[in-house]
Amino acid sequence: MNRRKMLKTGVAFTGATLITPFAFENEAFGKAKPQLPSYLKGYEKIYANNPRQAAIQYFREAKFGLFIHYGLYSLQEGYWEGMHSKPAEWVQLRGQIRVKEYEKLASKFTAEKFDADFITDMVLKAGMKYINLTTRHHDSFCLFDSKYTEFKSTNSPAKRDLVAELSEQCQKKGLGFYLYYSHGRDWRHPHAPNNSDWGGNARPPYDPPEESYMYGEEHDLDIYVEFMKNQITELLTNYGPIGAIWLDGIGTPRSRPDMVPKFKVQELYDHIHSLQPQVLVSYKQGLLGTEDFKAPERHFKGTSEVPLELCDTLQPRSWGYDRMDDNAHKSADQVMEMLENAKAINANLLLNTGPLPDGSIHPDDVLTLSEVGKRLKNGANAV
């Protein structure tokens, strides 16, 4: 049995297996002294006094990480019935695909070649220090086994918990494991923000209106806020030590600053910090100003009073796999320049790859990252 199959067959035991070596202060573990996560080796002294400060210091010095956008949208390769969507992961909204129709993609999700062992080895060889995985994007499909939804990878033909598989390999190899989670934007949950209240891209502009959504007096944002809190709690109690919760969808709450308190964002931050002592919180370029680090996209020109991370893609534009971009992935020269630009503003580079529909990493990205790793190992001073 190969290593990927071993991981797959072990998923049912992952929650217990991964969490056991990492005791932290919460209701389940009482006041146990937190054990040093593997990725924070070398930061023991700081961690003993302030686990979150140790994680911040690690983040400041990491400089280079891999972002992975993978989900049902990957199966569409940026297309829906002849329409091309940019970015590809927004195909449900751009194509105005009905919730029930989009849901059918889950029956085709196999993740056959998603290989956490290969991905983490690739990351180490590239000189990267951490991985950020889309646990749940705007379409609300989860790559983990959540008890709060049936719309998840463990219910698909894959029957796999990809968050568990990647978490195990990151812990084994000393990589930080960060978790992307769509917060302000959800195109499936009945009580997520509606366009009528929040505007922008909160929902696809369905005409006629989507029957599964709640509207008017029937709509209760508190139900959605509690749903998110419950899922984030799962991510922080079932998958071992986590480096950060990385929230997305900032455009929705920002469209109505007067209604931001309804999201109970600071309460969520405090809850996250209470679950694991070292975990960091980010919400793109900062929603409240109390985040542990900022993570703006691409050509950020501002300043930051907290650690900074620039997010960019190996494809020209899309984060999820887009077959239109197959011949234009970033070269090693381009990545080295991106690293230099990040270094110039004292930022990390979070470089994204969009796995192919079967979960494999695009061959061009594998080659580029391998070459970047060789250059960094041979003394290139980008990081």
Find the mean pLDDT for residues 151-180: 98
Name the pLDDT band for 325 (thresholds 50, 70, 90). Answer: confident
Cβ–Cβ < 8 Å for 92, 75: no
Does the structure show a pLDDT above 70 at 272? yes
pLDDT, position 383: 63
382 domain residue, yes or no: no
235 domain residue, yes or no: yes
281 domain residue, yes or no: yes
Does the structure show a pLDDT above 50 at 222? yes
Name the pLDDT band for 8 (thresholds 50, 70, 90). Answer: very low
212 domain residue, yes or no: yes
Cβ–Cβ < 8 Å for 360, 323: no
**CATH, residue 94:** 3.20.20.80
pLDDT, position 34: 67
Does the structure show a pLDDT above 60 at 307? yes
Give the up-direction half-sphere exposure of residue 28: CA atoms within 13 A in the CB hemisphere.
15
Name the pLDDT band for 381 (thresholds 50, 70, 90). Answer: low
250 domain residue, yes or no: yes
pLDDT, position 299: 82
CA 162 → CA 111, 248, 324, 336, distances in Å?
Answer: 9, 20, 26, 29
Find the mean pLDDT for residues 117-125: 98
95 domain residue, yes or no: yes
Name the pLDDT band for 23 (thresholds 50, 70, 90). Answer: very low
369 domain residue, yes or no: yes
Find the mean pLDDT for residues 252-266: 94
Cα first-last separation, the chain: 38
Cβ–Cβ < 8 Å for 354, 70: yes
Does the structure show a pLDDT above 50 at 352? yes
Does the structure show a pLDDT above 80 at 141? yes
DSSP state of 321: -
pLDDT, position 86: 87
Does the structure show a pLDDT above 80 at 19? no
Average pLDDT score, the chain:
91
φ, ψ (nearest 5 deg) of residue 223 = -65, -40
Of 6-10, 82-86, 168-172, give the lowest mean pLDDT range.
6-10
pLDDT, position 200: 67
Find the mean pLDDT for residues 100-120: 98
Residue 342, SS3 per DSSP? helix
Does the structure show a pLDDT above 70 at 264? yes
Q: Measured between alpha carbons, how far is 107 from 217 in angstroms, rounded to an integer? A: 34
Q: Measured between alpha carbons, how far is 96 from 80 in angstroms, rounded to an integer? A: 9
> Could you tell me the two tokens for 332?
């090693």
Find the mean pLDDT for residues 298-308: 89
Find the mean pLDDT for residues 104-111: 98
Q: Measured between alpha carbons, how far is 25 from 187 in angstroms, rounded to an integer? A: 34
Greater pLDDT, 152 or 301: 152
383 domain residue, yes or no: no
Find the mean pLDDT for residues 281-293: 97
* Domain coverage including residue 317: 3-377
pTM across the whole model: 0.92
Number of domains making up the chain: 1
pLDDT, position 14: 39
